[in-house]
Structure 1
Amino acid sequence: MGRADSDTSAAPSDYLELTAEVVRDHLAAATPLEAFLEGAGTLTLDQRMLLVDQALVLLEQNYVHLPLKIAMHAVNPVQRLRLIRRQLEQQTPATMPPEWIFHAEMSKVFHSVRDLHTNYQLPAPFANKIAFLPFLVEETGDGPDPRFLVTLVMPGVSAPGFEPGAEITHWSGVPIEQAVELNAGRFAGGNAAARRSRGIESLTLRSLSAHLPPFEEWVTVSYVGTDGEEHELRFFWQIVDSFEGREGPEGEEARVLGVDYEAEEIGRAKVMLFVPHVIEQQQALAAGQAPRSAAGEVASTMPEVFTARSVETPSGTFGHIRIHTFWVRNSSAFVAEFVRLIGILPQNGLIVDVRDNGGGSVWASELTLQTLTARHITPEPFQFINTPLNLRICRSSGDLEPWVPSMEQAVETGAAFSAALPLTPEDRANQIGQQYFGPVVLITNARCYSATDMFAAGFQDHRIGIVLGTDDNTGAGGANVWQQGDFLSDFPLTASPYRPLPNGAGMRVSIRRSLRVGDRSGTPLEDLGVVPDERHRMTRRDLLEGNVDLLARAGELLAAQPVRELNIADVARANGSLRLKVRTSNIDRVDVYLDRRPGASVDVPDGQAEVTVTGATAARAVRVEGYAVGELVASRTMPL
């Protein structure tokens, strides 16, 4: 195998002009990195001081993970900010360094805590920009050493053997494994798996809201092409506006966000660059057209959120639903669409796939759990760190009042954290109950973050099914995140310490930390994440053939578990009693409740039973619980 050619270039005009029509005009405005940087750098010295002062307020008085981060990562972000502030005091407008150096120092402080909730967002012209190369790289672990394959390429990129399946060997002369590790060290991640995953993703896609632009104007990619030959190809970084995303939560629901905003932005960029048909579906829905889908998929009213289909595996045909994000405007609508989709899919087993999901609404995440289990859902509790400023904030807002007594008591007890209280109301977390009765497997990876971490933790803590991970941990984001602007606009504090930030700059902070429930009750989710029950290393076939080996493994796990059935039929009232027929499968006993009060308990050895419950005149709902060998395995609730 020899080198066939060397250092050819992929011209941006070759692929930007061949993109799908729905994104072509947007991508036509992309500019090379060199041209983009010519307009950067307008912050004054006073504006720089203001940014440092506001960062000090957030990290010193609002940041819930500060003690944890100091202990786990041996960092002191508050002291580093104080040092930057002192350096600024010794500078003048004439002697202050270039703006990018200031941004680099601020970014280092925020990245040092390895918390993707806690960000320094660069001002204009960096805000809401994406730096990209026209392909994606992913890692396969089905050999003795990791390998890095090209998995997606934009139309119009034409070079010998450079297509899905090409193997990257060097990145601008650096062996690819070392290049990934160097990148991983630059990008925040709470554990090794999360950092490595971000290191791979950032090879070709970066949000400039969260990171400085690449230092290099181009990269030279050395690869073994699909033709079996060695090649080199030069790609120039392009800068483009982030694609407009769907609307997020508002009002009370906007206070319960758990989201990696950078991942949300990168996810939209991937759709724009590689799967623009999803944008076409969104636009069709917005125009009032019926939902459409790709071949083999169930049409969804939320195509950017869900992909649902049946998958054939060696162990059988099962349902597969991909939840791309929990960033939705309305959590109830999210749950309703999830329930509708899983009702259409095969009922003998379901694969719920949340890989690369950066989170969103904590309510959407936790309200979905009830639909997959008969068990009572206990939402994760959240805590503030006890500071005078956090106490003032909680006193000023009615929805935060439940945390106030414990924070006031901390003045006497010295407790570091407030009481742990849920964001999701427990009655809503159990309101609609179980909707899917087959076994369920959850697939995770290290890019699952925040509300998705909480979904995975709740899935595991309530023993809903097996967690199958393609990495050793999820991303480990265990907090509720607020924007600096939220503090400024939402809380009418006298002598507020918060100030507007210049030039579109922004900051975010983890304000309330989450704790796990069940057998791991009280364990922080931050930095630890969810360790999967089963581990699958992505294979070449997974990367190039639609996750075929991953889904086969999930199918094996599903096929080894029983399929339950619990149906209520022929409900009738007569003389103050309620008569109903129950059909079951793999259930030996059912208990019947009227408005949560026990009414009857009968055995169902042959899979069906007629049950009569007295005192049903005013009953508004009937709940039937199914048991197998004394264990609650199914539950169905029906309004009357």
Structure 2
Amino acid sequence: MTTLSSHVEVLAPRRAPDDDQPAYAGTDDSLPADLTVQVGSGDAAVEKSVPLRDFVATAGTLTLAERRVIVEQALVLLEANYVHLPLKSAMHAVNPVQRLRLLRARLERQTDATMDPERAFHTEMSGIFHSVRDLHTNYLLPAPFAGMIAYLPFQIERCTEDGETRYIVSRIAAGIAAGTLTVGVRVTHWNGIPIDTAVAVNADRFAGSNRSARLARGVESLTLRSLRLHLPPDEEWVTVTYLDSAGVRRELREPWLVAGNAPAMADAGAVTTAAASMGLDLEADEVGRARALLFARRAVEQQYGASEPELSTTPAEAGAEVTSTMPMVFRARSVVTGAGTFGHLRIFTFSVEDPAAFVAEFVRLVELLPREGLILDVRGNGGGHIHAAEFLLQTLTPRMVSPEPVQFICTPLNLTICRRHAANPTQQIDLGPWFPSMEQAVETGSIFSSAFPITPVEGANAVGQRYFGPVVLVTDARCYSATDIFSAGFQDHRIGPVLGVDDNTGAGGANVWTHGLLSALMQIPQPDPETPYAPLPKQADMRVSIRRTLRVGALAGTPVEDLGVPPDVRHELTRRDVLDGNLDLLEAAGALLAGLPRRRLDVQSTAAADGTLTLQVTTAGVGRLDVYVDGRPKASVDVADGDVTLSVPGVPGATRLRIEGYADGELVAARTEPL
């Protein structure tokens, strides 16, 4: 444990309370003149934490030449690779390329003796990248910032109470002594600034594609920041003003601490399908792992530990959890609401190396949850592997899934990369579909290439539907990237209603590549001596939106970037949601599920020696069954709820069965099984 000072707590003076108003709980922002401050203990919630002051003393080792390399490489990425540059320049009235040119000119006039402090350089670089408000396009700080987090040992969340927006402490890290700063207290000021204003200031500093996304990150960054993407806080400690459980106004002075983060679960720099198919808000991913370190250490230990969890094979009882093999990815449980008992499945991230294993674990969990309905909760999910996100859709719908298509911006460098990888199966990266249109753009002047999906259509439909009850998707403004794509696909394929706690998802509609991946692609199949990519110094890195995504279905062709996915139904988080396990949110989701039809389609198949296939089928909410074997229609029968036996002759050697269930002529359930 790192201790900065002993914990001191002094009661603030109280005014005479009345029947309805707690002491100092009014809207008056002035503080009592004799208000005293309690000093936080500085206890570390993460091992090997150090005070911010000590950590900052180790920074500042970039030479002038290294700074020039970083600026030149940033110009390459933004000018020659960045797919959203025209959109962002127009939408946000910014010119990041010109800012980089000006910075380059300043560096040319400097010497090692006269160059600006390193913090000023990082501030300018971060500001340029943040100006486009694209959480895919980042300047990643070098050592010693890489892999580190700055944190306060508690979390603040926003909710609506008595018709007002309030900010309350929702979690405190285990083993931390914070005196009267307990879970549930209301925060009124941050470093002497009214909390609403402090959040707005943070929101403006941290990139976000829309207002909801910026405000969500404004709250999040009050107590937790990834130093890979953001410089350390300017202040060494924060002063939090809050109303304790008795309504007494107090102040807590808590020092910032710095620690190493939990390891990433996917390598975005390797030349792999996973790296080339990444759609990830790195900040959300970093913060998600950091939050697990602070508040869910058991999940971290299970995720990275060697021991195998004990798994259940029986359906979950009401109120029970289902243990996952991926505890930092999934949390599954059965929840009881006023409208019934439903499954509640959180997906914390799509950042996985193996999409097939991800889908298999999801199917295992969802089949142990109640059939009456599923609350699929992706709040705070910053995305990850786009294949994982789009492969998952098929398990929830009988319809064939159409993955979202993506486009490159047509530049000479992107054309060169696509030409080199027009057919590259050995490295699992094939850019062939995009190459012809980009080559034609030299003559046609097209801004963007033709659009093709990253996710293979076969993989997006290989497993088929596995959950047949109604599904509600819960989103917020921190849903980003692959989670935006998943949410858009959920809505575009009419799987169920989207219940949002914010006005929009994060609106990150792109595939993101790192500088390291781009550089590696120019070395395959043989090195290019004219490559514009140069090695970055001291673990510095950059990421860029390389391909933009477009929606399918009724909104086909609409970009996801900056627009996101608006919910079908809006729910304001309440105090009970923040402090008591999302009780009101679950009630709202349960009420939606209760009004939706419930289906069932269970199938057991037996093949006889003569090639006859016998099917034992149990249905609910289905009026007709159509049977396909190896893609060919074999039978169609009218059914009622209950059990039915079907005999399908003449299918020796068949390998694949698909049964489709219809109600009033509409496809409502389907099951695909290998034979």
Partner of 2:307: 287
State the partner residue of 2:254. Answer: 235
More helix by share: 1
Check if 1:204 corresponds to 2:228: no
Paired residues of 2:320 and 2:335 also in contact (CA < 8 A):
no
CA contact (8 A) 1:308 1:341 kept: yes
Q: What is residue 471 of structure 1 aligned with on the other side?
A: 502
Alpha carbons of 1:478 and 1:280: their partners in 2 closer, same or farther (altered >3 Å)?
same
The secondary structure found in structure 2 opposite 1:43 is coil
1:319/1:349 contact within 8 Å kept: yes
The amino acid that maps onto 2:124 is E
Q: Distance in 1 between matches of 2:189 and 2:327?
A: 36
Q: Which amino acid aligns with 1:47?
A: E
Change (3 A) 1:627 1:314: same
Find the partner of 1:190 among 209, 215, 218. Answer: 209
2:261/2:286 contact within 8 Å kept: yes
Q: For residues 163-197 of structure 1, give each alpha carbon's deviation from its aligned partner in whole angstroms, at most 9, with x where no partner exists.
A: 11100000011000000000000000000000000
Residues 288 and 158 (structure 1 numbering): CA distance in 2 closer, same or farther, change over 3 Å? closer
Deviates further, 196-205 or 249-258: 249-258
Q: Partners of 1:395 and 1:538 in 2: how far apart?
A: 49
Residue matched to 1:163: 182
1:391 and 2:415 are equivalent in the alignment: yes
**C-alpha contact (below 8 Å) 2:149/2:260 kept by paired residues:** yes
With over 3 angstroms needed to count, the CA separation of the structure-2 counterparts of 1:283 and 1:94, relative to structure 1, is closer
2:127 corresponds to 1:108: yes
Change (3 A) 1:622 1:529: same
How many aligned residue pairs are there? 627
Answer whether contact 1:135 1:204 (CA < 8 A) is retained: yes
Q: In the alignment, residue 338 of structure 1 is paired with which amino acid?
A: F
Alpha-carbon distance in structure 1 between the residues aligned to 2:324 and 2:647: 40
> What residue number does 1:599 align with?
634
Letter in 2 for 1:91: Q
What is aligned with 1:412?
443
Q: Which range moved further: 575-584 or 249-258?
A: 575-584
Query: Equivalent residue for 1:23?
Result: none
1:7 to 7, 21, 37: 37
| 1:319 maps to which of 314, 319, 343 | 343
**Equivalent residue for 1:462?**
493
Residue from 349, 359, 362 that aligns with 2:383: 359
1:173 and 2:204 correspond: no
Give the % identical residues: 57
- Give the whole-Å Cα distance in 1 for the aligned partners of 2:387 and 2:611: 38
**Matched residues in 1 for 2:628 and 2:163: separation?**
56
Root mean square deviation, CA, Å:
1.8
Aligned to 2:14: none
Question: 1:344 is paired with a residue of what secondary structure?
Answer: coil
Structure 2 counterpart of 1:38: 57
One-letter identity of the residue aligned with 1:501 = L
Does 1:268 find its partner at 2:289?
yes
Secondary structure of residue in 1 paired with 2:431: helix
* 1:604–1:154 CA distance, 2 compared to 1 (3 A): same
Partner of residue 628 from structure 1, selected from 643, 647, 663: 663
Greater alpha carbon shift after TM alignment, 591-600 vs 115-124: 591-600
* Cα distance in 1, alignment partners of residues 613 and 52 from structure 2: 72
For 1:58 and 1:150, locate their aligned partners in 2 and report how far apart those are by CA, in whole Å: 40
Q: Deviations over 1:580-609 (max 9, x none)?
A: 243211111111111111122111135444
**Which secondary structure does the structure 2 equivalent of 1:499 belong to?**
coil
CA contact (8 A) 2:137 2:544 kept: yes
Distance of 2:79 and 2:275 partners within structure 1: 23
Distance 1:291 1:244 in 2: 24
Can you give the 5+ residue segments of structure 2 that lack an aligned partner in the other structure? 1-22, 25-31, 425-429
Distance, in Å, in 1 between the alignment partners of 2:604 and 2:51 is 65
**For 1:551-562, what aligned pairs fall within 5 Å after superposition?**
551-562=586-597
1:283 and 1:526 mapped to 2: Cα distance? Answer: 33
Q: Which moved more, 1:616-625 or 1:144-153?
A: 616-625
Q: Are 2:372 and 2:470, in contact at CA under 8 Å, matched by a contact in 1? A: yes
Equivalent position to 1:498, from 533, 550, 556: 533
**What does residue range 204-603 of structure 1 map to in structure 2 within 5 Å?**
204-248=223-267, 251-284=272-305, 286-288=306-308, 290=310, 296-397=320-421, 398=424, 399-492=430-523, 493-569=528-604, 571-573=606-608, 575-603=610-638
- For 1:162 and 1:576, locate their aligned partners in 2 and report how far apart those are by CA, in whole Å: 71
Shift in alpha-carbon separation, 1:353–1:606, aligned structure 2, 3 A? closer
Q: Aligned-pair distance for 1:576?
A: 4.5
Instruction: Give the Cα–Cα distance (whole angstroms) in 2 for the partners of residues 247 and 441 of structure 1.
Output: 28
Amino acid in the other structure paired with 1:179:
A
Q: Is the 2:417–2:521 contact (alpha carbons within 8 Å) kept by the matching residues of 1?
A: no
Distance 2:301 2:502 in 1: 32
Q: Greater CA deviation, 629-638 or 92-101?
A: 92-101
AA partner of residue 563 (structure 1)? R
Quickly say closer, same or farther: Cα 1:289–1:559, change in 2 above 3 A. Answer: closer
CA distance in 1, matches of 2:176, 2:325: 33
Code of the residue aligned with 1:328 in structure 2: it is V
Assess if the C-alpha contact under 8 Å between 2:302 and 2:309 holds in 1.
Answer: no
Distance 2:39 2:403 in 1: 53
Distance 1:489 1:427 in 2: 28
Q: Retained in 2: the 8 A contact 1:161–1:227?
A: no
Deviation at 1:142, TM superposition (A): 3.6
295-304 vs 66-75, which deviates more? 295-304
Rounded to whole Å, the distance in 2 between the matches of 1:606 and 1:503 is: 65
Q: Distance in 2 between matches of 1:444 and 1:248?
A: 26
CA contact (8 A) 1:243 1:268 kept: yes
Q: Which amino acid aligns with 2:120?
A: I
Of 78, 87, 93, the match for 2:112: 93
Q: Over residues 477-521 of structure 1, what are the superposed CA-to-partner deviations in whole Å (9 max), with x where a residue is unaligned? A: 111111101112232234100001111111000111111100010
Deviates more, 1:133-142 or 1:273-282: 273-282
CA distance in 1 between counterparts of 2:641 and 2:519 reads 63
Question: 1:277 Cα shift?
Answer: 1.1
- SS at the partner of 1:558? helix
Query: Could you tell me which amino acid in structure 2 is paired with residue 279 of structure 1?
Result: V
> Matches of 2:603 and 2:303 in 1, distance apart?
37
SS in structure 2 of the partner of residue 222 of structure 1: strand
Q: How does 1:70-89 map to 2 (within 5 A)?
A: 70-89=89-108
2:293 alignment partner, SS class = helix
Give, in whole Å, the separation in 1 of the partners of 2:179 and 2:359.
46
What's the TM-score, normalizing by structure 1? 0.95
Determine if contact 1:379/1:426 at 8 Å carries over to the other structure: yes
Unaligned runs of 5+ in 1: 20-26
C-alpha distance after superposition, 1:335-378 (max 9, x if no partner): 00000000111111011111111111001110011001101100
Q: Which amino acid aligns with 2:415?
A: L
Deviation string 1:598-625 (CA, Å, 9 cap, x unpaired) is 1221111354444343442242222110
Equivalent residue letter for 1:569? Q
Whether the aligned pair in 2 keeps the contact of 1:161 and 1:224 (CA below 8 Å) is: no
